[in-house]
Amino acid sequence: MNTSELQNIKQRYSIVGNCDALNHALNVALQVAPTDLSVLIVGESGVGKEIFPRVIHDNSPRRREKYFAINCGSIPEGTIDSELFGHEKGSFTGAVGESEGYFGVANKGTIFLDEVGELPLATQARLLRVLETGEYIRVGGQKVLKTDVRIVAATNVNMRKAISEGRFREDLFYRLNTIPISIPPLRDRGEDIVLLFRLFAMQMAEKYRLPKITLQEDAKRLLLKYKWPGNVRQLKNITEQMSILSKQREIDTETILQFIPQDMESRQLATINSVGAHSYENERELLYKILYELRGNVSDLRREMNGLRKQLDEARTLSDATAIQVRQLDTGRNFPTLQADSELHRSTIQDAVAEEINEPESLNLSDLGRQMVEKALERNGGNRKKAAQELGISDRTLYRRIKQFGLD
C-alpha cells in the first residue's frame, strides 16, 4: 500500500495519525480485506478499534452486502444465541414469531463482533461451528442452516488470560485470530497525539460554535508525556471538556492538569485514577452538556423576555385605551371588572418579566467549575483529598479552587 492510498483511506474514515504502528495496522487491514479470513482487532479500550472492521468490509468483495456491528458485551446472555443465530417460533417464552438472527440476515456480508471476549461459552461453541463449517442451527430448531459470513472481531481483554482462566475457548481464539491486527495505545503514537488534539479541537469548535482551542508549547509537551490510560477516547473527551470550559483559548499546562489525572510518572496510578473516576467522568460530561443546554435556554429566555416586554408595552397602551373607552362609556358596572382584568394581565406579565430579568447574565464557566467542586466535596463528606482525587486534580489545585470560589 503506497502512501497516497493510505492517505485516501485515512481521509475517507477521518482517521488521524501517521505513526508507524497505526500505518502498519491499516496496511494489514487493507491487505486482508479482499480475503475471507477472520480478523481479530486487539488493543486497549479507546484506541480506535471500531473503524477497522468497517474499513475491511468496505474494501472487500462483500462491500455491497450487509454489515452488522454487534457488541457482544451488551446483549444479555439469555438472548444472545437467538439474536445471533435466530430462533424458531415458540422456542422460548416470548418467541412469538421466528427470527433469522444476524448470521442468517448477514449472509454474504460481514459481521463485526465487538468485545468478543465477553461471549458466553455456549455461544462460543455455536460461533466456532459456524466459522468452521458455515453451519448453524436456530435456537429451538433442528434444521441445519448454511450461511456465508465474514467475521471481524475485536477485543480489549487479554485473550490468553481469558483462555487460561477457562472463560474463552482456545480453539475459537485461534480461529478468530487468523489475522491479528494490533492497534497501538495512544501513549506510543508520539506526535499523533497533537494531530488528534487538533482534529478534536476543530470538531468541538464546530459542534459548540466556540472559538477553537490551541496548545501552548509546554502543554504540547505535557500531552506527549502523559500515559493516556483511556487512549484516543480520553483525549477526545478532554479536548471536548477544555473546549467548553476553558476561558483561555490557548491551553496551557495548568489547564490541562485540571483535566487529566495528576500522576505523570506512574502509569499505574494514572490507570487507577481513571478507573476510579470513571462514573464521575460520565457525570462531569453530563454536567457540561447540561450547562451547554442551559446556556441555550438562557438565550432563548432572553429572546422571549424581549418579546414579553413588547407585549407588556402593547398591553399597557391597550389597557390605558380601554380604560379611557370604558370611562367614556361609563356604565359604572363594567369598568371595575375590566380594570381589574387588565391590571391582572399587566401584573402577570410584569412578574414574568421580573423573574426573567433575575436570571443570571449567563451561566458562565466558573459557575460550572464551582458546582463541580461543590458536588465533589459534598460527595466526599468535605474530604478535600478524596474530592481532589475524584476530580482528577491535585490537592493544591483544589485548594486554590475552593479559595477562588469562596467555598472555604
Q: Which residues here bind Mg ion, judged by CB under 5 A?
A: 50
Please give the residues from 174 up to 203 whose contact with ligand ADP meets the rule CB under 6 A. Answer: 196, 199
**CA dihedral sign of residues 12, 16, 22, 23:** positive
Q: Which residue is nearest to ligand ADP (CB)?
A: 48
16 interacts with ligand ADP by CB under 6 A: yes
Nearer to ligand ADP, 232 or 277 (CB): 232
How many Å from the N-terminal Cα to the C-terminal Cα in the chain? 61
Nearer to ligand ADP, 223 or 232 (CB): 232
Residues 6+ apart with CB under 8 A from 51: 13, 15
Residues 6+ apart with CB under 8 A from 78: none
Neighbouring C-beta atoms of residue 183, cutoff 10 Å: 24
- Burial class of residue 23 (count of CB atoms within 10 Å of its CB; 0-12, 13-18, 19+): middle
Minimum gap (Å) between residue 230 Cβ and ligand ADP: 9
Nearer to ligand ADP, 204 or 391 (CB): 204
48 interacts with ligand ADP by CB under 6 A: yes
Interior/surface letters 270-291, b for 16+ CB within 10 angstroms, e for the rest? beebbeebeebbeebeebbeeb
Candidate ranges 38-46, 170-178, 333-341, 370-378; the one touching ligand ADP (CB under 6 A)? 38-46
Minimum gap (Å) between residue 88 Cβ and ligand ADP: 34
- Identify the residue among 3, 4, 14, 93 touching ligand ADP (CB under 6 A): 14
Q: Which residue is nearest to Mg ion (CB)?
A: 50
Candidate ranges 43-51, 124-132, 332-340, 348-356; the one touching ligand ADP (CB under 6 A)? 43-51
Q: Are 117 and 155 in contact (CB under 8 A)?
A: yes
Task: Identify what 230 binds: ligand ADP, Mg ion, none; CB under 5 to 8 Å per kind.
Answer: none
Distance CA 237, CA 244 (A): 11
Distance CA 279, CA 376 (A): 12
- Total residues contacting ligand ADP by CB under 6 A comes to 17
Task: Identify what 256 binds: ligand ADP, Mg ion, none; CB under 5 to 8 Å per kind.
Answer: none
Please give the residues from 17 up to 36 whose contact with ligand ADP meets the rule CB under 6 A. Answer: 17
Minimum gap (Å) between residue 15 Cβ and ligand ADP: 4
Minimum gap (Å) between residue 47 Cβ and ligand ADP: 4
Minimum gap (Å) between residue 138 Cβ and ligand ADP: 30
DSSP characters over 40-59: EEE--TTS-TTHHHHHHHHT
Minimum gap (Å) between residue 49 Cβ and Mg ion: 5
Nearer to Mg ion, 17 or 43 (CB): 43
Element counts in the chain: helices (H) and strands (E): 18, 9
- Identify the residue among 25, 33, 39, 43 touching ligand ADP (CB under 6 A): 43
Candidate ranges 67-75, 137-145, 232-240, 400-408; the one touching ligand ADP (CB under 6 A)? 232-240
Distance CA 123, CA 78 (A): 10
- Identify the residue among 54, 175, 198, 233 touching ligand ADP (CB under 6 A): 233
Task: Identify what 184 binds: ligand ADP, Mg ion, none; CB under 5 to 8 Å per kind.
Answer: none
3-state secondary structure labels for all residues of 284-342 = HHHHHHHHHHHHHHHHHHHHHHHHHHHHHHHHHHHHHHHHHHHHHHCCCCHHHHHHHHH
Measuring CA to CA, how many Å separate 286 from each of 36, 118, 200, 339? 42, 27, 18, 49
Measuring CA to CA, how many Å separate 354 from each of 196, 292, 305, 340? 47, 24, 9, 20
Residues 6+ apart with CB under 8 A from 40: 116, 152, 153, 154, 155, 176, 177, 178, 179, 180, 181
Binding track over 235-254 against ligand ADP, x by CB under 6 A: -x------------------
Minimum gap (Å) between residue 312 Cβ and ligand ADP: 48
Nearer to ligand ADP, 139 or 154 (CB): 154
Minimum gap (Å) between residue 371 Cβ and ligand ADP: 27
Binding residues for ligand ADP (CB under 6 A):
14-17, 43, 45-51, 196, 199, 232-233, 236
